[in-house]
Amino acid sequence: MNDVIEPFIAATVRTAVPLGLAAFGELLVERAGLINIGLEGAILAGAFGALVGASAAGVGAGFATAALAGLFIGVLFALCVVWIRADQIIAGTALTLLSVGATGTLYRAFYGSGGAALGIATSEPLAIPGLSALPVVGTALFAQPPITYVAYLTGPVMAWWFRRTHAGLALRSIGERPEAAEAAGIAVDRARVMAILVGGTLGGIAGGTLVLAQAGTFAEGMSAGRGFIAIAIVVLGRWTPHGVAAGALLFGAASALQYAFQAMGWNAPYQLFLVVPYLLTLAALAGAVGRARAPAALGRALEARR
């Protein structure tokens, strides 16, 4: 049994990390009352950025350029939505399309359209002494690439930030009632821009994780809808950091199930497994929304289109 459970947990965590990072980023944005459909574009941009950075100067540089690429998409989104006040859903969709086109174009231009697997430095697992020796979960949880530990910490840090700082209170108030925040002297636009930028950066890092800690290479469109799955995770997690963490793990587990099933001898068409995250997203959105309460300003913005 152990040889099924351990890989299963490891796969769960591995899949959950980029989803979770992107979802934490989106959580900030949605607590500010906005929704960034361009998150998918940020992840893809981050993936490509990681390719560029890692080819040039190794894993660390790869993550840095991934973050920058995601930040860039965030900047564009902030420009559209906060400065120009364009429709946020269409702007986000356009940015995702832009990212798909731009990364595809740049990839083909610089790395040839052959699509040959490129060898770039990848992020090696870093075992945490002591913890990684735990039975069953030890290696699965604590012998992962370092970015995993960053993801572990993000949840509690964000929860602390929301509850114990004025900045967190301010962001929450913006997401609930921006007029109240403004009257209290809070710079609403500026806070929203910050949330968008951090969200984009985290999305970029998530993309970097895909390349540097999972695939080891870049492929066009490799984000494969993870940005939208991250948005579903935020809803499923009821817009709280711990909920998001749990949601990411849930999606990770669902994806990891395919390995478990294959190990146990199930032979279904591989498309069935690939489809699971998307169907799960739909189910999560349908099931979760009834009970969860979105930040009021976000709810109002979305209600306006119902």
Partner 1 sequence: MATAERQAPARRSGANTALHELALAAVVVAAIAGATALLLLAGGYPVGRGLAALWSGSFGSWYAFTSATLVRAVPLMLTGAAVAIAFRAGVLNIGAEGQLLVGAAAAVALALVSREDPGLLALAPPLVAAAAGGAVWAGVAAFLRTRYGVLEVISTIMLNFVATYVVSYLVRGPLQEPTRVYPQSATIADAFQLPRISGAGRLHVGLLLALALAGVAGWVLRRTAVGFRIVATGENPSAAASAGGIDVRKTTMHAFLVSGALAGLAGGVEVLGVTFALYENISPGYGYTAIAVALLARLDPWRGVATALLFGALEAGAGAMQRDAGVPSTLVSVIEAALILAVVAAQAARARRLSGDSAVAIRPVNA
Partner 2 sequence: MSELSTLDASLALALRDIDKRYGTTQALASASLQVRPGTVHALLGENGAGKSTLMRIAYGMERPDAGTLTVRGATVRFATPAEAIARGIGMVHQHFTLVPVMTVAENVALGGRGRLDLPKTMARLHELTERTGFELDPEAKVESLSIAAQQRVEIAKALVRDAHLLVLDEPTAVLPPSESERLLRWLRDYADAGHAVVLITHKLREALSVADDVTVLRRGRTVLEVPGSAATIASLTAAMIGTAIDDESATAPRAAEARRGAPAASRGPVFRAERITLVDTRGIVRLRDASFIVEPGEIVGIAGIEGGGQRELLRALAGRMAVASGTLSRPPIVGFVPEDRHNDAVLLDRSLVENVALRGAGARRGFIDWQAFASRTTSLMHAFDVRAPGARAPMRTLSGGNQQKLVLARELARDGAMETQAIVVENPTRGLDVRATSDVHARLREARDAGAAVVVYSSDIDEVLLLADRVLVVCAGQLRAAPMEREAVGRLMLGLHGDG
Please report, as ranges, the residues that interact with partner 2 according to CB under 8 A. 163-166, 168-170, 172-173, 176-177, 179-187, 296
Nearest one of 85, 91, 100, 118 to 42, comparing CA atoms:
100
Q: Nearest distance from residue 227's CB to partner 1, in Å?
A: 9
Query: 56: how many CB neighbours lie within 10 A of its CB?
Result: 11
User: SS3 for 143?
Assistant: strand
Note whether 297 binds partner 1 by CB under 8 A: yes
Contact, 26 vs 243, CB < 8 A? no
Judged by beta carbon distances under 5 to 8 A according to partner kind, the member of partner 1, partner 2, none in contact with residue 184 is partner 2
Query: 93: how many CB neighbours lie within 10 A of its CB?
Result: 15
Report the largest interatomic distance among the alpha carbons of the chain, rounded to a whole angstrom: 62
Judged by beta carbon distances under 5 to 8 A according to partner kind, the member of partner 1, partner 2, none in contact with residue 281 is partner 1
User: SS3 for 146?
Assistant: helix
Q: Nearest distance from residue 73's CB to partner 1, in Å?
A: 12
Note whether 89 binds partner 1 by CB under 8 A: yes
Judged by beta carbon distances under 5 to 8 A according to partner kind, the member of partner 2, partner 1, none in contact with residue 159 is none
Judged by beta carbon distances under 5 to 8 A according to partner kind, the member of partner 2, partner 1, none in contact with residue 236 is none
Specify the stretch interacting with partner 1 by CB under 8 A; choose among 67-75, 78-86, 130-138, 158-166.
78-86
User: SS3 for 104?
Assistant: helix
Residues 6+ apart with CB under 8 A from 113: none
User: SS3 for 86?
Assistant: coil
Note whether 282 binds partner 1 by CB under 8 A: yes
Note whether 108 binds partner 1 by CB under 8 A: yes
Closer Cβ to partner 2, 170 or 222, answer by number: 170
Q: Nearest distance from residue 189's CB to partner 1, in Å?
A: 4
Region of 158 (left: φ > 0; alpha: ψ -120 to 50; beta: rest) is alpha
Exposed/middle/buried for 90, CB within 10 Å: 0-12, 13-18, 19+? exposed
* Residue of 192, 205, 218, 247 that binds partner 1 (CB under 8 A): 192
Note whether 126 binds partner 1 by CB under 8 A: no
Residues 6+ apart with CB under 8 A from 15: 251, 252, 255, 256
User: SS3 for 216?
Assistant: coil
Binding site for partner 1 (CB under 8 A): 34, 37, 80-82, 84-91, 93-95, 97-98, 100-102, 104-105, 108-109, 113, 178-179, 182, 188-189, 192, 220, 224-225, 228, 231-232, 269, 271-272, 274-275, 278-279, 281-282, 285-287, 289-290, 297, 300-302, 304-306
